Structure 1
Amino acid sequence: MKNFSFIVTLLLFSSLLSAQQKEWTLEECVNYALENNLQVKRTELDLELAEIEKRDAIGNLIPSLNAQARNSWNTGLTQSATTGILVNQTVRNFDANVTAALTLFDGLRNFNQLQRAKMSRLASEYSLDKMQDDIALFVADAYLQVLFNKQNLEVLKAQNQVTQEQIQRTQDLVDAGVLPEGDLLEIKATMADEKQRMILAENQIQISLISLAQTLGIRDYQNFDIVDRDYGIFGNEILANSVYDVIEQAKEERSEIKIAEANKELAEMDVEISRGAYMPTLSAFFNYNTRETGQDRIIGREIDPNNPTQRIGFVQGTNQEVLAENIIPVLGSPRPFFDQLYINDGLTYGFQLNVPILNGFATRNQVKRNEVNVKRAEFELKQAELDLEANVYQAYTDAKGAFEAYEAALVAADAQERAFEYATERYDVGLTNAFDFSQAKIRYENTQREALRAKYDYIFKIKVVELYFGIPVRDLKF
């Protein structure tokens, strides 16, 4: 039993350790964000609400059926249902009814409402697509920022390793009298500055990792990390297309235009729905009702033994009383519950026509209001097209500029590398001082960092152009 417990503990520890050591790829981060990001989830709720709205519209086209039952007690001075006399009593009554109704014609408002609900759901789908694209780009940008910070730290570490080696070489040259001691102090100062920058670079890595984890909805910041992978340049062939080709493709594929078009159609449907209020409404109804009571019922009649006669008038002229038999009802127990329901049931059915005549111009004003909304939606569609053109043109220009900047950064980095190698050779033989060597080293380090920054900036911007060109977010290559 102890061995079994030890094995279970070991397995749990191993699984926990492996979970803590998981490193996320960019594809995994994007897919996880699309499933768990809070903004995506909120947009998915809008899609659920649109689906509910659609079911509401469908429900308006089918008959309504409602049942009602009531059992009540009435205590006090009430009229007897059997004798008609006011008496103090407690009466129990039960009634039930079932009503069905169906709208036969309402100016096509229910039908148009269904079409609007379908369009509203489609617009919500477009909004979800746009949100997913935005989140995917945001995740990619955050991921590449982490990767840049990590590789920047590697550059700093590599340069620091060179500095450490130079300290030993400088110490030997100082001991040999080739270099002054001031050069050794300069190199040591460079070492201290590099260590400080490495600490700052490590902090930047943690900050960027936390930012990425929050975008994904992950709270375990301490154990979150990404795969250290050198992403290549993919998709630059997209720039072989002209910017106008990309713009036309974006107008066909991008969700921004589809959302604006859907909003325009929704506004047009609102006009049709409001115009339906001008038309008469014809509906059919059917009602079945029944009732039951706990009061005694009349089972016969008899002469009142206590007062067998009653005066009903006088003979004209003689004023002689006219008497008649005093007949009173004989009460018995109420009929059984279901017998009363069967006897007392009834049906009500028919048609109802409502014709709008004058309603304070409410219908007319609503139609006019919705027509204004149509014009507004048309302007918003045109504005969305203009904004998309500007955004695509900006993204295309940025991508081309980023590629040229990346190529220039590579050339600069290569030139500074050769310059640094030359400065190193001169410093090793005492032909240059430590300050000039440190400056050459800093320039080389800066060009390496700039090359990294330009690379990841270009990768991100080319992915923006690919999205505008209609490539699905899950098909982007990194």
Structure 2
Amino acid sequence: MRLLIRIFSLLISVAFLPLELAAQGNQNQTVSADSLTLEQCIAYALQNKPSVQQAYIDEQIADREIKAALAGWLPQLGLDANVQHYLKMPVTIFPNEAGVLVPRQIGTINSSNLSLTANQAIFSNDLFFASRGSRYVRLQSEQEIYNEKISTIVAVSRAFYDVLLSQEQLKILDQDIIRQEKQLKDAKAQYEQGLVDKTDWQRADISLTNVRSTRKRVQEAIKPKYVFLKELIGYPAEKELNITFDPVKMRQSMFTDTLQTLNYTNRIEFQQLQTQKQIQELSVNYYKWSFMPTFSAYFNYNLVYQNNDFQQLYNQSYPNSPIGLRMSVPLFTGTRRLQNLKREQLREKRLDLDIANVKNRISTEYETALATYRSDLYELKTVQHNVEMAEEVYRVIKLQYDEGIKPYLDLILAEAEIRATQLNYYNALYRVLTSKLEVERVTGTINVAAYEQK
């Protein structure tokens, strides 16, 4: 009869299993709607973090500066006007019919000019190198944005893992409190029945109090971590932020290729230095060719008004309109061109040393990151084994304590070992995730586009 009842109960549970799974799925959807995953936090930060937005604004500023510099290739128009009245007429010396030099006043007391000027640059060393350097300046702005995104991904990921670690610590402590409360209740009941010494439930009470104190400390410490995470992603301070994660997916994502070769060009810092190198080479060439003449074409149209009577000044105009070519050659600049050239060449040498130094630093970071990741991954596997062993030891000691074989002190120590190994496991998992992130950073393999598509 009991066997039939158990079979019937099993059939009912199997029948209602799809409904339970659907309910769990709906619950997970509700959590994900109110919570953010790591990918969603990063995507939110890439759109809303002030420093990322500032990088985009800096790119727009650089674009405006480029357009302003290249505007010199377009025709330049100007309009000048003036009105002039002589308080005392100028004097010019002219010879008379006898050849004697006689001072004479020439001109009118009142005059006015209206001049329209048009200039078109044909060749200019400044404009030529501004045109050549514009694409590198734009590339530099794009690299600044990419570098800020990389820094944002790393910072947000670390903060997310830190919050997640504290959350898992709270769960472990909550489970420990439930277990400790049951132990305290059982120990007190056994003491009242005269089965155990009074010190058993007193030790249980002390252990429970310590765990509650630890939980309170972790609970308070998690609040500023949430605030820091909201600051990093640009989340409104007045809104509540919750995070969620998929444990299976997170454990799968903690593995990375440790056999990949180091490629310096993948690092954004190295790319930025290469761009600076190209800009610096243009700067050196600019001063090398700064002796080149400047050619331009001009067209002027002038309206000249002259009259001694101010009221009739604008009754008659005397226009003129020249057109021509202009060349300007810097013959001697007091060695200024030579000094500027030497300065830029020294800056180029200094930049070469920066590139060599960055290569050495990247190599050091690469070896350090790989060594740290390998050791953290090995430690995680070791700690995971310790968790399984601690749970098995606790189960055996609990049975032995219930049978009166083991003292309560052994049970307390077994509980402490479970808590310690579980906390160590999540600490190790946090270190693996962060060290794996560091490996991706130093190898330049962080996929920014994947987060922007979230």
TM-score of the two chains, using structure 1 as the length reference: 0.78
Using the alignment, how far apart are the partners of 1:400 and 1:62 within structure 2? 60
Greater percentage in strand: 1
Using the alignment, how far apart are the partners of 2:445 and 2:375 within structure 1? 21
Using the alignment, how far apart are the partners of 2:173 and 2:307 within structure 1? 96
Q: Which amino acid counterpart does residue 36 of structure 1 have in structure 2?
A: N
Percent identical residues: 19
Question: 1:366 aligns to what?
Answer: 340
- Aligned pairs for 1:195-274 (under 5 A) are 195-221=212-238, 223-227=240-244, 229-230=246-247, 231-235=249-253, 238-239=256-257, 241-243=258-260, 245=261, 247-248=262-263, 251-274=264-287
Q: Which amino acid counterpart does residue 95 of structure 1 have in structure 2?
A: N
Moved more, 42-51 or 207-216: 42-51
- Kindly report the root-mean-square deviation, in angstroms, between the aligned alpha carbons of the 2 structures: 3.0
Contact 2:166/2:218, CA 8 A, preserved across alignment? yes
Structure 1 position 135 matched with structure 2 position 148 = no
Structure 1 position 426 matched with structure 2 position 431 = no
Question: 1:118 aligns to what?
Answer: 135
Task: Give the superposition deviation at 1:370.
Answer: 0.5
Please say which structure displays the higher CA radius of gyration: 1
Q: Tell me, what secondary structure is at the counterpart of 1:100? A: strand
Question: 2:100 aligns to what?
Answer: none
Using the alignment, how far apart are the partners of 2:416 and 2:353 within structure 1? 54
Using the alignment, how far apart are the partners of 2:397 and 2:233 within structure 1? 46
1:430-455 Cα distance to aligned partner (Å, 9 max, x none): 33333332222112101101111211
Contact 2:38/2:245, CA 8 A, preserved across alignment? no
Using the alignment, how far apart are the partners of 1:221 and 1:398 within structure 2? 38
Using the alignment, how far apart are the partners of 1:58 and 1:268 within structure 2? 20
In structure 2, the CA distance between the partners of 1:461 and 1:263, relative to structure 1 (3 Å rule), is same
Using the alignment, how far apart are the partners of 1:154 and 1:237 within structure 2? 25
Q: Which amino acid counterpart does residue 370 of structure 1 have in structure 2?
A: E
Contact 1:271/1:367, CA 8 A, preserved across alignment? yes
Greater percentage in helix: 2
The counterpart of 1:30, out of the listed 30, 35, 42, is 42
Task: Give the superposition deviation at 1:165.
Answer: 0.6
In structure 2, the CA distance between the partners of 1:353 and 1:407, relative to structure 1 (3 Å rule), is same
Task: Give the superposition deviation at 1:460.
Answer: 2.7
Contact 2:304/2:318, CA 8 A, preserved across alignment? yes
Report how many residues are paired. 407
1:79-130 Cα distance to aligned partner (Å, 9 max, x none): 69xxx7999x9x6x65322212233233x43211222232122122112111
Question: 2:450 aligns to what?
Answer: 475
Structure 1 position 51 matched with structure 2 position 63 = yes
In structure 2, the CA distance between the partners of 1:114 and 1:86, relative to structure 1 (3 Å rule), is closer
In structure 2, the CA distance between the partners of 1:36 and 1:459, relative to structure 1 (3 Å rule), is same
Contact 1:53/1:117, CA 8 A, preserved across alignment? no
Q: Which amino acid counterpart does residue 233 of structure 1 have in structure 2?
A: R
In structure 2, the CA distance between the partners of 1:222 and 1:199, relative to structure 1 (3 Å rule), is farther
Task: Give the superposition deviation at 1:194.
Answer: 1.1
Structure 1 position 152 matched with structure 2 position 169 = yes
The counterpart of 1:357, out of the listed 314, 323, 331, is 331
Task: Give the superposition deviation at 1:472.
Answer: 1.3
1:218-264 Cα distance to aligned partner (Å, 9 max, x none): 2425622222543522345532x524x2x12xx23221111010011
Q: Tell me, what secondary structure is at the counterpart of 2:34? A: coil
Contact 2:393/2:414, CA 8 A, preserved across alignment? yes
Structure 1 position 174 matched with structure 2 position 149 = no
Contact 1:50/1:117, CA 8 A, preserved across alignment? no
